Amino acid sequence: MEQLNQKFRWMIRIGTILYCVYMLLYAKSYQFMALNVFLAYIPIEISFYFERVKCKMFYFLAAFWLIFYPNAPYLFTDFFHLAELTIYQGSNQIFLQSIHDWFSFVLLSTGILVYGLLGMDTLFSLMDEANKKGIMTKHWQFGLITVLISSLSSLAIFVGRFDRLHSVHLFTKPVHTLQIIFFQWSQEKWLFVLLFTAFQLILLGMIFSLKQQNRIDRSH
């Protein structure tokens, strides 16, 4: 099992490198996806080490993971960039057979779906390991942490999309970044956070259901 996990991890690492390099060098309209996917990959890489560290180091690793986790659900906001493609010709509902644009559609959608969902799945890796280490043992704790992290990541997504802040700004401009995240509010911000928290909970529910079904299939 450990050998299979290692192979899977290296497949993700190599796939991430190839995707980011291609998007950076050849995808003229979507070069930004190289950075967005790389940032969304960081929590995935961090999650590989949850089981290897002891409790004290686990808290530090979890905090580091939390800083970069919002980059995973943030990817879903990049679907709006599909509007730049010319394959859809307005209200007459005619789609052009432009292989170039359909290839761009596949590239963008692949980055969003693969790294968005894999990145969000690391939340369950975090909670599973916290349970094994005796940090979280009650069901209500899992629910509370899921809602809390989804809410915090929605906040981060809002400032990332509308204030153009990234996770790295927590290191380069920590005071300014925290001030924008937690002390500058508007009606639109509240509504966005609530909406995107609900959206993330739906996606997490889907991931959880698939994981549970996979466990049931393995037990039979």
For residue 57, count other CB atoms closer than 10 A to its CB: 12
**What is d(CA 13, CA 151) in angstroms, rounded to the nearest whole number?**
28
Half-sphere CA count of 135, side-chain side, radius 13 A = 17
- Token output for 116: 């968005």
Contact between 133 and 55 under an 8 Å Cβ cutoff? The reply is yes
Tokens describing residue 46: 């961090």
Closest CA to 209 of 124, 110, 114: 124
Q: Which of 161, 23, 9 is nearest to 104 (CA)?
A: 23
3-state secondary structure of 88: strand
Instruction: Please name the residue that has the structure tokens 């153009």.
Output: 164
Residue among 65, 63, 25, 24 nearest 41 (CA): 65
**Structural tokens at position 171:** 């290191």
Q: Phi, psi at residue 93, to the nearest 5°?
A: 55, 40
pLDDT per position as a tens digit, 12-49: 999 999 999 999 999 888 899 999 999 999 999 999 99
Kindly report, residue by residue over 166-197, the tens digit of the pLDDT. 788 888 888 888 898 888 999 999 999 999 99
The CA distance from 1 to 135, in Å, is 25
pLDDT given at position 194? 98
Q: Which pLDDT does position 110 carry in this prediction?
A: 96
Whether this prediction's pTM lies above 0.75 is answered by yes
Residue 95, pLDDT > 70, answer no
Report the distance separating Cα 64 and Cα 21, nearest Å: 25
Structure tokens at 76: 């879903």
